[in-house]
Every structure is written in structure tokens, then in C-alpha cells.
């Protein structure tokens, strides 16, 4: 069974990406679904690569559960609906692999080997192939065979333990699949590295991208500080992370939310002056003093913020050169002055989405 399709109504898959992009001519075959692999290949597409995406007859699960997400991640890719359990489906997949520079797969470890599409087999026929395996816990290890989603990877990396409120349980996350996206970005950088080294060696590599490992790597700064401070328990770690005076989200008089981040001494002094904060009875001379009084300081900031509307507060704090930003809804992003000025948004038909965010200038 095979059915070829294009997705979205943006750049058709049959049309080559814009000339001048750095990865024009690169051919990628994508066996992944949901978020991590498709986000990686979306980025590669945005950089000029041609993407052939293989989907099982039941299709990518995101198509039924999150159709808008599916369209954003897969716009402009050539979609091949193949039954890899049949000889014809496998034969067609093998043809696609033969012309590819990069293969991306997101199955559980062992599945591609059973299909005859594992790295060991393909590398013999296509030694230059960069083979990217994205999984929750890696190709090997005690967790490699168990199922998982973003929440589980956050839990395994220690990051979930630092989410939420100090006196509450760990939160459910931040509203976006942080692990899936971070894993895809690590996969992107590693893929580009492998392609760079292939120029000298002529050989590809097998990239074992564990989403949990990527999240854990991102915890290095926190781990280092907790060790230096002698923090031992999760409670102590949460206290260290959440003890941030003049750093938080505060509700304004008109029901909006304002983020203020004034940890450094100069920002702190400007915040006190701009909000005309009453600090009587509090020792705030140093950051250490302010940390010991975090709750009361933030309570007084909250009281000051509650008395004013978000527009006047933002203008006042910006004029004082304080790090401040109104909390935006995701649906406001496309119309924000920042997004408009930076030209961040493009579209797939009636679905707007953000282009690859790094501006790659012309050659000197």
C-alpha cells in the first residue's frame, strides 16, 4: 500500500525550497511521528532540505489528536503512506532510503532492525547515511524499552521536580512539550555536525538521541549550583530554585499578568524606585538578605502591581530599564510588535506558524 500526498497549502512538497538556503539539495527521509522527529525535519525543511515522510496506514497519530500541530510540523513534506509490514511497502521505503542523506526515526529501539531498516544494515549499503534515532530514553539502558511521553522525560531528568509552586507538588509542565522540542534541537545540531564531518570522511553516523539525556544535560547549571550549595533533598532543591526576590509573575489591576525579573542589584534598585516600594522592616541590603525575605518582598511587589493597569506599569518599568514583560497568550504572538518586526510568522493555509527563528545572513 502506498499513497503519496503533500500537506498544508503553504510551500508544496513538489516545489523545491527557496534557493540560497544552506541545506538545499539535502535529502531526508523521516520515519517519525508526533513531535520530536517531525519538529527536527521541519527545521531541516526550513533550512532548505527536501523531506520524504513515511507514515503507516493508520497515519501519524498527531493527525487525529492534534491536526493543527500536524499541519505545522509537516507542511511542505512529501508524505508516503506505506505499510512496512508488507514486501511492497518495505521495497518502496528502501528506494527512498537509497536516495537520502539523512534518515530520522522515532520508533522504540529494535523496531527498525526488525524491519530490516536498522543502521547496521543500511550503513553497509549507504555508508554516507546520517541515521538519527530519537527516543525517550535512548537505544540502550534500563529504560530504553519502556513507553513514555514528555511528562515522563521531564520526570526522569529532574526538571519536573523543579516545576510548580514551592509548597505544592511538581507541576504538569509548562504547556509545551519541552523535552520533545529540546531533544529535536539537540538532534538538529548533531545531525549538522555529522553532515559536516561526512565531508571529510565520506561516512555517516548513527546518532542516538535520548530526549531524557538531552533534558538532563540542560540541568547542568542547576545541578552544579545545588552541589555547591550542599542541597541534598528535592525540597531543598525546590527552595533554592524558587527563592527569587523580585522575580516572578504578578497580577495587575486589569486582570493581566506581568513578569518582573530584578535579581541583580541595579535592576533591584530601579524596581524599588519605579514602584515606590515600601521596604520598611525588611533587610534588603544584599541579594542574600533579599533571598531571606523573598516571600515578603514579592508580596509587597504584588500589592504594588495590583493597584495599576498593565499598560502603565509596563511603560513605567521599561522607562526605568527593568526586565519586565506582559504575559502573552499564544494566540497573541502573531500580532505582537516583536513578531511582526522580526517577521517570525508564516502560514500553512489558514494555520499561522513560526518560521525557523535564526536569521542566516548572506555570505560576506
Average pLDDT over residues 67-81: 91
- Other CB atoms closer than 10 Å to residue 38's CB: what's the count? 28
Rounded to two decimals, what is the model's pTM? 0.87
Higher pLDDT among residues 170 and 208, named by residue: 208
pLDDT value of residue 11: 37
Q: How many angstroms separate the CA atoms of 62 and 64, rounded? A: 5
Residue 87 has pLDDT above 70, yes or no: yes
Helix, strand, coil shares, percent, the chain, to 5: 45, 15, 40
Given a cut of 80, whether residue 329 has pLDDT beyond it is yes
pLDDT in tens, 184-233: 999 999 999 999 999 999 999 999 999 999 999 998 888 787 777 777 77
Please spell the DSSP secondary structure of 333-362, one letter per residue.
Answer: GGGSHHHHHHT-EEEETTEEEEPPSS--PP
Once rounded to an integer, what is the mean pLDDT over residues 342-361? 86
Chain centroid to CA 291: how far? 31
Expressed in angstroms, the distance from the first to the final Cα of the chain is: 49
Instruction: Check residue 3 and give its pLDDT.
Output: 56
Task: State the pLDDT confidence band at 7, using cuts at 50, 70 and 90.
Answer: very low
CB of 206 closer than 8 Å to CB of 128:
no
What's the Rg (C-alpha) of the chain? Answer: 24
Tell me the catalytic residues. 180
Residues facing 261 on adjacent strands? 247
Q: Are 258 and 329 in contact (CB under 8 A)?
A: no
Phi, psi of 134 (to 5 degrees): -110, 125
Q: Is the pLDDT of residue 243 over 90?
A: no
Give the residue, 234 or 110, on which the prediction is more confident: 110
Res 49 pLDDT > 50: yes
The contacts of residue 95 (CB under 8 Å, 6+ apart) are none
Q: What percent of the chain has pLDDT over 90?
A: 68
Cβ neighbours of residue 231 closer than 8 Å, sequence gap 6 or more? 237, 239, 240
Q: Supply the pLDDT for residue 6.
A: 43
Q: 33 in helix, strand or coil?
A: coil
Amino acid at each position: 500500500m502506498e499513497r503519496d500526498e503533500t500537506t498544508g497549502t503553504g510551500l508544496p512538497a513538489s516545489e523545491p525550497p527557496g534557493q540560497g538556503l544552506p541545506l538545499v539539495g539535502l535529502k531526508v527521509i523521516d520515519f517519525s511521528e508526533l513531535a520530536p522527529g517531525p519538529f527536527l525535519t521541519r527545521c531541516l525543511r526550513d533550512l532548505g532540505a527536501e523531506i520524504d515522510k513515511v507514515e503507516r496506514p493508520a497515519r501519524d497519530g498527531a493527525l487525529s489528536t492534534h491536526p493543527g500541530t500536524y499541519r505545522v510540523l509537516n507542511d511542505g513534506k512529501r508524505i508516503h503512506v506505506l505499510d512496512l509490514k508488507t514486501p511492497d511497502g518495505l521495497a518502496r521505503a528502501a528506494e527512498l532510503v537509497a536516495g537520502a542523506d539523512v534518515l530520522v526515526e522515532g520508533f522504540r529501539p529494535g523496531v527498525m532492525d526488525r524491519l530490516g531498516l536498522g543502521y547496521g544494515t543500511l550503513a553497509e549499503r549507504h555508508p554516507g547515511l546520517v541515521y538519527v534515532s530519537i527516543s525517550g530514553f535512548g537505544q540502550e539502558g534500563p529504560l530504553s524499552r519502556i513507553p513514555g511521553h514528555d511528562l515522563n522525560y521531564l520526570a526522569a531528568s529532574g526538571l519536573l521536580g523543579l516545576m510548580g509552586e514551592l509548597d505544592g507538588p511538581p507541576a504538569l509542565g509548562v504547556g509545551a512539550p519541552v523535552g520533545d522540542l529540546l531533544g529535536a534541537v539537540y538532534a538538529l545540531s548533531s545531525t549538522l555536525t555529522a553532515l559536516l564531518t561526512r565531508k571529510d570522511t565520506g561516512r555517516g553516523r548513527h546518532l542516538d538521541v535520548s530526549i531524557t539525556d538531552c533534558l538532563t544535560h540542560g540541568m547542568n547549571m542547576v545541578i552544579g549550583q545545588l552541589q555547591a550549595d550542599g542541597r541534598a533533598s528535592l525540597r531543598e532543591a525546590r527552595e533554592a530554585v524558587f527563592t527569587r526576590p523580585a522575580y516572578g509573575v504578578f497580577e495587575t489591576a486589569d486582570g493581566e499578568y506581568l513578569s518582573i525579573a530584578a535579581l541583580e542589584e541595579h535592576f533591584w534598585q530601579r524596581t524599588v524606585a519605579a514602584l515606590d516600594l515600601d521596604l520598611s522592616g525588611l533587610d534588603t541590603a544584599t541579594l542574600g538578605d533579599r533571598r531571606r525575605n523573598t516571600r515578603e518582598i514579592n508580596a509587597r511587589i504584588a500589592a504594588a502591581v495590583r493597584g495599576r493597569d498593565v499598560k502603565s506599569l509596563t511603560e513605567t518599568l521599561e522607562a526605568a530599564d527593568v526586565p519586565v514583560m506582559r504575559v502573552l497568550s499564544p494566540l497573541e504572538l502573531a500580532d505582537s510588535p516583536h513578531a511582526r518586526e522580526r517577521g517570525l510568522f508564516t502560514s500553512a493555509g489558514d494555520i499561522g506558524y513560526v518560521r525557523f527563528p535564526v536569521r542566516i545572513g548572506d555570505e560576506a
